[in-house]
Every structure is written in structure tokens, then in C-alpha cells.
């Protein structure tokens, strides 16, 4: 099913520019904007939303302060200052448990927590401080490329976050993988509000006091924008919003990002709107620039496209939508971000040449919900010029092209252009298996251009299921792709899932068999089970797929639903297939590294000959399970 983009009345560029000029003329002054990227995300590279907005805001003459609070938070967690704070919290947590024990019998986990807290001595904290500083030095230096040292550093991060969790229990802090859990449900507004006000578990209140509040006091911004990419970031984002409105009520607070766009139909009625003033949905560059100007001019936001806002009369939704012209957007602006503090030994910069997906027909995918227009691309000469500019300005040689799926024609032109301009970079991106790319010259060019790592949308290795999904590819094309990338020295990572509606157990297992048959060419995997997303084509056409969705009205922020099927695997059966896959698969796919950017850096440095060193060895990581669950 082709993605439908009719989401609101489309505003012309001429109208948008006229409204923007009117707002700016009325404002009479340029604004100061603080952009925040909130926890939790792995701190290996900047997320592109902030630099993209910064570029257009600065182009319009506004002053911008970029704050990657996610990065600053993890750096703070693994520091002497924070770990001494943890030590001071130990007696407070023990006292809380003692008072609780007078009211009722402690549960088993609470008794275990008491015992573990008693072991958090000054000596242990001093040891963790030394190990944390050493671990950060490893991941930011050349020693990163010694796999045993890197593995040790990652284990230190796990050990430290486990100790941090003790004083914020029943919250659980974890990195990596990113599995922080505040013990509240993120898909229910009332529980998000409870989490915001829970001074025991909500570690983000301390993050606000340490990192966000001092920055606001120092910079005195007029507008603060928070980019929410993952739903899990709602906890930190709403905490920041609530505390900003408490301490700085005069500042206009707006939220945006992928999760906000996906929740656009429920936000106007949500009690969460008490914490912020406006929300920008879909693409944000033009809308946010116009919003900032309107706030500065003390004008209504009614004419700002892609916006949900509140005033004295209530909450309103903009009647117009706007999609960006890729040709007019400037390159991302990373100035002000502490690029040297990311948890990598060398800079990795994200770059986006396209919007939307050129295919746009996969029945399980809802990426198109982030846009009000179809696929668009920058011209190849502009792409090459901007990559050159970013390379030279920031001294970056590693690039992550974050396009949803790199189009075949642009892939060819990019590889050829990088060679002809002698760009000297290494890069990674995301792709479909395409018949049109099965030529020797394509992969020779990709290799010479510095392509090192490709994420493929594999989904299934069964022909009938691929047709159900409208993937428009075959196992023969997949096989040829995998061979050609491996022979070119390019790491391939296959992302798939079990349980697409109508898929049988035999068909699901044939996906595994296909990969096993091609194990010599498949380097790593990321598998899961099918989710019935709020906006995906299956959810919009349940009769076509024999699906019945169960929507709990209390779960107002739910982005996916429990469902049953008329034919094929149920959710529970798909989970069992996944568990069986976890127990029975090629052990070569269990890697000692499961952080995407880290594999990219290793392959960029060593090539595929490093593969045996990257494969899992149980003796090396104590406490880490050798499974694919949650990895990649």
C-alpha cells in the first residue's frame, strides 16, 4: 500500500515565507533558542534533529544553544561527582526501606536491595570512580580498537549503572543496552505524570538540577525546544518540561520529533499539555523558525504550520501542514555540541540527503507518518558539496547517512561521486535489497568510496511472506546482495522479524534457514517480532490482513497494540519462534560488540578480517548473555 500523505491543508512555500517575514518584521528582535536532546540514547554520535534545526534558526538570524543532555548525562553518571552523590543517597534509600518495613513486610526484591545497598561502601565507590574514568578514556582513545579493553569498558558501564539503580530503585538504570525503566508505563499519560513527580525513582529530576537548570540560568533563552525521538524519552522530556515551567514560567517550551508526530492525534486532549506550550509535528525546520518568530512578536501561533499549541482559549491544531524543499535546507550545524565528548574515539557525523522512503509500500512500516509529502532528495552535487563542507569544518572522516532507505540511483551516484572527488571518508547507511544494484561496478564503486557497513531491511526469507509485506524483492536477490557486499569487504547487517500477519511457523523458520544457508555472507542480525504500530498499514487495513486490534482506552499514549490474527502465528507463537531462534542459530552471529557505531568503527579500521575477533566468547564478559535479544 502506497503511503498516504494527505495530512492537513498544504501550505505553499510562498505563503509560508510571507507569514514568516511578517512574524519576523513584527518581532523586531532576534530570539535566543535552546535546543535539548533528552535521554535515553546511546551517546555515540549526535542526533541529527538538533543540528538541522540549529542550521535554519541561525540562518534566520536567531541565536541557538545546542544541549545534548543525553550525552552530558552519561558523562556525568560515570564521574566522581555523580558517584559520590550515589554514595550519599545510600543511607537515604536504606532509611526509606526501614520505614517501609515498619508498615509492611518487605518483598524479596526489597530485602535483596537492602543487602546490596549495604555493600555500597566508600571503597567500592572509589573503585567505580577510577574504573569509570578509565572506561571513558578507553572508548575515547586509540585503545578503543583493542577489543578486550573495549569489552571491559562496556562491562564497567553496566556495573556502574547497576549500582546507580540501587539508590533509585525500583527504577532500573542500564547502559548498554539502553533499558532504563522508571517502573511506570510510558504509554499512559497518568503514569507519565506520576513518574514526573516521583522524587524517588525519577533520576531525570537530578539530571535537570545538575545539567538543564544551570544551562538555562546561564543562557536565559526565550524558547526551549525538546526533540523526542523514542517514546522512552517521554519520561525525561516531560520531567524537563514540568521543571522548566516551574522554575522558568516565562520561557516558551515546545516539543517535537518522531514520537510527538506519532502522538499528534491524542496530544491535544492529553493532560501532558500542562507541561509545555506547543508541539511541532512532521518536519520541523520551517515550522519551528516561524514559531520562534511568532513567539518573539507575541503573535498567535494559528498561522504556524505543523503546530499544536495552547492559549487562553485552549489547545488548537494548525490547519495547515508544510513539507520542506530539500534543495533549500542548509547543511546541519554542529557548532556548540561537544563533539569530543561522545563515547567514540573519532567523530561520527550523521547526514541526511533524502526525506521519506522512495519505496514507501512495505505493509509493516509507518515511517511515512513523519511526513506530509512523499519522497524527496537533494541533488547529488549538493550532497557531495555538503559532505565535503562537514568533513573539512569538523575534521570528520566517518559519516552515518541516516536516510530511511538509500535509493538505488542515489547510491550509485554517491559512491561514484565520492571516488571522483577523492573524498577520503568512510560511511554507513540503510538499504533495501534491490535487483537494480546487482552489478559488479556498483559494489566496486561502493568499496572504493569508503562504504563499510550496510543495514538491510531483510524482514523475511520466505517468498510468500515477502509478497504479503509488499517488499518487492526475492530470496535470490537477497542472496546475491549478501554475496556481493561480503566480497566487497562491506559488513552487512540483516534486520528481520517473525509474526507478520498470516505468516506460519514453517514460513517464519524458513527465514532462519535462508540465513543459515548464507551464513558465509551474513555478518550480523537484528531480529524481533511484528508490532502492530498505531499508524502502520496493517493497523489501517485490519480486514485485509485478518487482524483484530485491542485498544485499551486507558493506554492513551500507546504506539502499538495487542492483536489477534485469523491465520498464522499469534503474538505468543511468534515470541516462541523468536526464543527458539535465540537458542538455535549460528553462534557466529553473537558478537562481542552490539553497538552499531562500534562495529562500524572496527570494520572501518580493520575490514572484515576482524570478524573472528568480534564474535562472542563467553569467558570474556561476565554477566552478559550470548543472545541477539535487544541487540543492534
- Specify if 157 maps to a domain: yes
Statement: residue 269 has pLDDT above 90: yes
> What 3 state SS string does 436-455 have?
HHCCHHHHHHHHHHCEEEEE
Instruction: Report yes or no on 386 lying in a domain.
Output: yes
User: Which single residue is written with the C-alpha cell 509474526?
Assistant: 499
Task: Please name the helix (run of DSSP H) or strand (run of DSSP E) that holds residue 467, with its range, or none.
Answer: helix 463-469
- The predicted pLDDT at position 169 comes to 97
User: CB under 8 Å to 273, separation ≥6 — which residues?
Assistant: 267, 310, 315
Regarding whether 224 and 310 lie in a shared domain, the answer is: yes
The 3-state DSSP class for residue 251 equals coil
Only one residue has cell 509545555, namely: 276
CATH number at residue 295: 3.40.50.280
For residue 3, tell me if it sits in a domain.
no
User: Distances from the Cα of 611 to the Cαs of 150, 377, 448, 580, 593, in angstroms?
Assistant: 15, 35, 20, 25, 11
pLDDT in tens, 417-465: 999 999 999 999 999 999 999 999 999 999 999 999 999 999 999 999 9
Which residue, of 295, 326, 357, is where some domain finishes?
A: 326
Whole-number pLDDT of residue 24: 59
Task: Kindly state whether residues 188 and 216 are assigned to the same domain.
Answer: no
> Looking at the structure, do residues 459 and 383 belong to the same domain, yes or no?
yes
Asked if pLDDT for residue 56 goes beyond 90, the answer is yes
Instruction: Write out the residue range of the structural domain in which residue 307 sits.
Output: 9-71+200-326
Angle, helices 147-168/69-77, rounded to nearest 10 degrees: 90
CA dist., res. 56 & res. 328, Å (int):
10
Q: Can you tell me the mean pLDDT for 82-104?
A: 96
pLDDT in tens, 183-224: 999 999 999 999 999 999 999 999 999 999 999 999 999 999
Is there a domain that residue 357 lies in?
A: yes
Q: What is the pLDDT of residue 239?
A: 98
Does residue 627 fall inside a structural domain? no
289 and 173 within one domain: no
What is the structure's pLDDT at 261?
Answer: 95
Residue 261's SS3 state is: helix
Question: Last residue of a domain, which of 195, 224, 253?
Answer: 195
Burial 245-271 (b: 16+ CB within 10 A, else e): beeeeebbbbbbbbbbbbbbeebeebe
Write the CATH number for 601. Answer: 3.80.30.20
Residue 293's pLDDT is 95
The answer on pLDDT for 625 being more than 50 is: no
Residue 106 lies in a domain: yes
Structural domains counted in the chain: 3
Mean pLDDT, residues 296-310 taken together: 95
The number of angstroms, rounded, from the C-alpha of 105 to the middle of its chain's C-alpha atoms is: 41
Q: With bands split at pLDDT 50, 70 and 90, how would you rate the model's confidence at 620? A: very low
Please, which pLDDT band fits residue 19 given cuts at 50, 70 and 90? low
- Domain edge (last residue) among 146, 173, 195: 195
Place of cell 526484591: 109
- Does residue 620 sit within a domain? no
pLDDT higher than 90, residue 614: no
Cα dihedral 397/401/406/411 (nearest 10): -20
Output the pTM of the full model: 0.94
Q: What is the pLDDT of residue 612?
A: 80
* Structure confidence by residue, pLDDT tens digits, 483-537: 999 999 999 999 999 999 999 999 999 999 999 999 999 999 999 999 999 999 9
Residues 309, 358 within the same domain: no
CA distances from 304 to 20, 294, 297, 352, 596 (A): 9, 8, 13, 25, 37
In whole angstroms, give the CA distance from residue 436 to residue 473.
11
CA dihedral (218, 219, 225, 228) positive or negative: negative
Q: Buried b / exposed e across 149-173, counting CB within 10 Å, b at 16+?
A: bbbbbbbbbbbbbebbbbbbbebbb
Percentages (nearest 5) of helix, strand, coil residues in the chain: 50, 15, 35
Tell me what the mean pLDDT of segment 335-345 comes to. Answer: 98
Question: Would you tell me how many other CB atoms lie within 10 Å of the CB of residue 479?
Answer: 16
**Is 114 within the bounds of a domain?**
yes
Contacts 24+ apart (CB under 8 A), 516-521: 516/585, 516/586, 518/478, 518/479, 518/482, 518/483, 519/586, 519/588, 520/486, 521/479, 521/482, 521/483, 521/485, 521/486, 521/492
Q: 271 in the Ramachandran plot: left (φ > 0), alpha (ψ -120 to 50) or beta?
A: alpha
Same domain (yes/no): 533, 551: yes
Q: Note every long-range contact of 120-124, with CB atoms under 8 Å and residues 24 or more positions apart, other chains counting.
A: 120/86, 120/87, 120/90, 120/163, 120/166, 120/167, 122/87, 124/163
The C-alpha cell that represents 400 in the structure block:
552515518
More confident residue, 588 or 600: 600
Can you give the pLDDT at residue 540?
93
> For residue 377, is pLDDT > 80?
yes
pLDDT at 15 over 70: no
> Is the same domain home to 26 and 93?
no
Task: Mark whether 362 and 456 lie in a shared domain.
Answer: yes
Q: What is the mean pLDDT of residues 226-242?
A: 97
Q: What is the pLDDT of residue 426?
A: 98
- Measured at the alpha carbon of residue 296, what is the angle toward residues 60 and 193, in degrees to the nearest 5? 105
Rounded CA separation 366/370 (Å): 8
Higher per-residue pLDDT: 618 or 223: 223
pLDDT at 615: 82
Tens-place pLDDT, residues 533-581: 999 999 999 999 999 999 999 999 999 999 999 999 999 999 999 999 9
Q: State whether 352 and 268 are in the same domain.
A: no
Q: Which of 6-15, 68-77, 117-126, 251-260 is predicted with the least confidence, judged by mean pLDDT?
A: 6-15
Q: Is the dihedral of CA 294, 300, 301, 303 positive or negative?
A: negative
The residues that bridge with 270 in the sheet, in sequence order, are: none
**C-beta separation of 404 from 354 below 8 A:** yes
Q: Are residues 457 and 566 in the same domain?
A: yes
Cβ–Cβ < 8 Å for 223, 189 = no
Q: In terms of domains, do 188 and 214 share one?
A: no
pLDDT at 581: 93
> Based on the domain organization, do 80 and 66 belong to the same domain?
no
Cα–Cα distance, 572 to 498 (Å, whole number): 11
Amino acid at each position: 500500500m502506497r503511503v498516504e500523505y494527505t495530512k492537513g491543508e498544504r501550505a505553499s512555500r510562498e505563503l509560508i515565507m510571507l507569514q514568516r517575514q511578517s512574524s519576523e518584521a513584527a518581532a523586531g528582535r532576534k530570539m535566543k533558542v535552546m535546543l535539548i536532546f533528552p535521554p535515553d540514547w546511546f551517546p555515540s554520535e549526535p542526533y541529527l534533529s538538533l543540528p538541522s534545526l540549529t542550521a535554519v534558526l541561525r540562518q534566520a538570524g536567531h541565536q541557538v544553544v545546542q544541549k545534548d543532555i543525553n550525552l552530558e548525562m552519561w558523562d556525568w553518571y560515570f564521574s566522581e561527582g555523580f558517584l559520590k552523590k550515589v554514595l550519599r543517597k545510600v543511607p537515604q534509600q536504606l532509611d526509606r526501606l526501614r520505614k517501609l518495613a515498619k508498615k509492611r513486610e518487605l518483598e524479596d526484591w526489597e530485602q535483596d536491595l537492602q543487602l546490596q545497598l549495604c555493600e555500597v561502601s566508600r571503597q567500592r565507590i572509589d573503585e567505580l570512580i577510577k574504573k569509570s574514568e578509565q572506561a571513558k578514556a578507553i572508548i575515547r582513545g586509540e585503545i578503543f580498537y583493542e577489543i578486550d579493553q573495549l569489552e571491559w569498558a562496556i562491562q564497567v558501564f553496566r556495573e556502574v549503572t547497576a549500582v546507580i539503580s540501587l539508590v533509585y530503585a525500583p527504577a532500573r538504570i542500564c547502559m548498554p543496552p539502553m533499558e532504563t525503566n522508571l517502573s511506570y508505563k510510558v504509554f499512559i499519560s497518568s503514569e507519565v505524570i506520576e513518574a514526573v513527580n516521583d522524587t524517588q525513582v525519577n533520576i531525570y529530576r537530578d539530571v535537570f538540577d545538575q545539567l538543564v537548570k544551570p544551562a538555562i540560568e546561564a543562557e536565559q533563552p526565550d524558547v526551549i525546544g525538546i526533540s523526542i525521538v523514542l517514546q522512552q524519552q517521554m519520561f525525561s522530556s516531560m520531567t524537563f518540561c514540568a521543571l522548566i515551567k516551574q522554575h522558568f514560567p516565562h520561557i516558551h517550551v515546545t516539543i517535537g520529533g518522531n514520537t510527538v508526530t506519532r502522538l499528534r492525534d491524542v496530544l491535544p486532549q492529553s493532560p501532558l499539555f500542562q507541561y509545555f506550550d506547543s508541539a511541532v509535528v512532521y518536519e520541523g525546520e520551517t515550522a519551528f523558525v516561524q514559531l520562534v518568530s511568532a513567539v518573539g512578536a507575541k503573535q498567535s501561533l494559528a498561522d504556524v504550520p505543523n503546530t499544536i499549541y495552547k492559549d487562553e482559549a485552549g489547545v488548537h491544531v494548525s490547519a495547515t501542514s508544510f513539507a520542506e524543499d530539500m534543495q533549500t535546507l542548509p547543511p546541519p550545524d554542529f557548532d556548540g555540541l561537544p563533539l569530543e565528548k561522545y563515547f567514540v574515539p573519532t567523530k561520527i557525523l550523521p547526514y541526511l540527503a533524502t526525506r521519506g522512503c522512495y519505496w514507501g509500500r512495505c505493509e509493516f512500516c509507518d515511517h511515512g507518518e513523519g511526513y506530509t509529502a512523499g519522497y524527496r532528495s537533494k541533488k547529488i552535487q549538493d550532497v557531495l558539496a555538503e559532505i565535503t563542507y562537514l568533513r573539512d569544518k569538523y575534521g570528520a572522516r566517518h559519516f552515518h547517512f541516516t536516510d530511511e532507505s538509500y535509493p538505488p540511483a542515489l547510491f550509485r551516484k554517491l559512491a561514484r561521486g565520492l571516488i571522483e572527488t577523492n573524498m577520503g571518508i568512510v560511511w554507513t547507511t540503510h538499504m533495501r535489497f534491490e535487483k537494480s544494484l546487482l552489478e559488479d561496478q556498483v559494489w566496486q564503486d561502493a568499496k572504493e568510496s569508503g562504504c563499510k557497513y550496510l543495514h538491510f531491511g531483510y524482514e523475511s526469507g520466505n517468498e510468500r511472506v515477502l509478497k504479503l509485506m509488499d517488499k518487492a524483492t526475492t530470496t535470490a536477490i537477497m542472496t546475491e546482495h549478501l554475496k556481493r557486499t561480503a566480497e566487497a569487504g562491506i559488513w552487512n547487517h540483516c534486520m528481520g522479524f517473525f509474526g507478520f500477519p498470516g505468516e506460519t511457523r514453517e514460513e517464519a523458520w524458513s527465514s532462519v534457514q535462508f540465513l543459515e544457508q548464507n551464513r558465509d555472507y551474513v555478518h550480523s542480525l537484528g531480529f524481533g517480532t511484528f508490532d502492530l504500530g498505531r499508524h502502520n498499514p496493517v493497523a489501517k487495513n485490519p480486514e485485509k490482513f485478518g487482524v483484530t486490534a485491542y485498544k485499551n482506552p486507558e493506554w492513551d499514549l500507546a504506539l502499538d497494540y495487542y492483536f489477534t490474527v485469523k491465520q498464522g502465528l499469534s503474538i505468543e507463537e511468534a515470541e516462541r519462534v523468536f526464543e527458539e531462534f535465540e537458542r538455535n542459530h549460528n553462534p557466529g552471529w553473537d558478537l562481542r560488540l552490539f553497538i552499531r557505531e562500534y562495529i562500524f568503527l572496527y570494520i572501518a579500521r580493520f575490514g572484515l578480517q576482524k570478524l573472528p575477533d568480534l564474535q562472542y566468547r563467553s569467558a570474556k564478559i561476565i554477566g552478559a548473555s550470548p543472545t541477539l535479544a535487544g541487540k543492534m
